[in-house]
């Protein structure tokens, strides 16, 4: 058995004190959830050293993650819940000031945990309150009371500690695997394209969330901390033309709360900040085994969000 890899951590600060977050996380979003496959993958990930796990109410994976963590404890893979970093996210139908805490409580109930390490606003939009709906339609959209929702997120710290308030999927592509630049770097380094991409994101100083149900690729994805890309490698990758996906054009309409993508993204869509920091890379599921490989970052409206970037070679 491969020894567990010690994944580097960053320190998060909040009114509740400091908390460390592993820079490499394991994502649980998928088009079609297979609870048994996900549970097995999470257990294997824990054996390999993964300690950061990303879920969300809309993923319906919170219960399965709960079972996997409980089994990991019973098997002695980890000593307690405190040894893992759990992130969950509030879906748009719950993005209303009076529904934030009930939504958090529901996630905690699903996870059977007393606290979350990180709780995020999934998207900066509100859907009509009620049943969680995905995908949202134009008729579902209502104005977001960001100030009220954020105040409720801060209030939720009294309930639970919260430091911060691919091909093979319907949203991915194969452009990363087809990039000649990445292929050349991977061959020269004797690494996989996925490892090159993960290492690149890590060297930008950001957090990456990956996912695979394949044992060998799980192992490969965590073997990125004992080597580094050269400045020449980084420059080649940084010059690669980028194509952003999951812009959420469907949330923009003449009659909705957001009339343009620029407005939806709070003016960051074409900014240097947006292009250099908000990275969410999709790799092919079959070859790289990564469906979620992302970065969370803070925008000017003080909410956490995800965006995707894929490469053209």
Catalytic residue among 59, 119, 202, 251: 59
CB neighbourhood size of 82 (10 A): 9
Spell out the residues 6+ positions from residue 275 whose beta carbon is closer than 8 angstroms to its own: 242
- Asked if 250 and 135 count as a contact pair (C-beta separation under 8 A), the reply is yes
User: DSSP per residue over 196-240, as a string?
Assistant: HHHHHHHHTT--EEE--S-HHHHHHHH--SS----HHHHHHHHTS
What is the DSSP pairing of strand 52-54 with strand 304-305? unpaired
Tokens of 154: 């801060």
State the Cα–Cα distance between residues 96 and 122, nearest whole angstrom.
13
State the Cα–Cα distance between residues 7 and 199, nearest whole angstrom.
12
* Catalytic residue flag (residue 115): no
| Catalytic residue annotation | 59
């Amino acid at each position: 058995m491969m020894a567990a890899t010690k994944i580097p951590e960053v320190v998060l600060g909040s009114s509740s004190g400091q908390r460390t977050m592993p820079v490499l996380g394991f994502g649980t979003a998928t088009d079609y959830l297979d609870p048994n496959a996900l549970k097995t993958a999470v257990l294997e990930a824990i054996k390999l050293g993964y300690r950061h796990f990303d879920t969300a109410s809309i993923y319906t994976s919170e219960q399965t993650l709960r079972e996997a963590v409980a089994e990991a404890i019973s098997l002695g893979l980890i000593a307690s819940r405190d040894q893992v970093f759990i992130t969950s996210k509030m879906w748009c139908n719950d993005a209303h000031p009076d529904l934030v805490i009930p939504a958090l409580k529901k996630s905690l109930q699903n996870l059977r945990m007393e606290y979350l390490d990180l709780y995020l606003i999934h998207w900066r939009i509100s859907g009509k309150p009620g049943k969680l709906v995905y995908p949202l339609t134009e008729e579902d959209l209502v104005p977001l009371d960001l100030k009220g929702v954020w105040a409720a997120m801060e209030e939720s710290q009294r309930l639970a500690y919260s430091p911060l308030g691919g091909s093979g999927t319907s949203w991915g592509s194969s452009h990363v695997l087809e990039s000649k630049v990445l292929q050349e770097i991977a061959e020269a380094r004797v690494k996989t394209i996925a490892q090159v991409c993960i290492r690149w994101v890590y060297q930008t100083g950001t957090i990456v969330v990956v996912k695979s149900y394949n044992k060998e690729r799980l192992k490969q994805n965590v073997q990125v901390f004992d080597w580094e890309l050269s400045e020449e490698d980084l420059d080649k990758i940084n010059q690669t033309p980028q194509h952003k996906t999951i812009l959420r054009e469907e949330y923009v309409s003449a009659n909705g709360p957001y009339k343009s993508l620029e407005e939806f993204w709070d003016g960051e869509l074409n900014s240097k900040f947006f292009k250099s920091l908000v990275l969410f890379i999709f790799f092919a599921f079959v070859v790289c085994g990564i469906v979620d490989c992302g970065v969370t970052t803070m925008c000017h409206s003080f909410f956490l969000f995800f965006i995707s970037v894929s490469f053209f070679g």
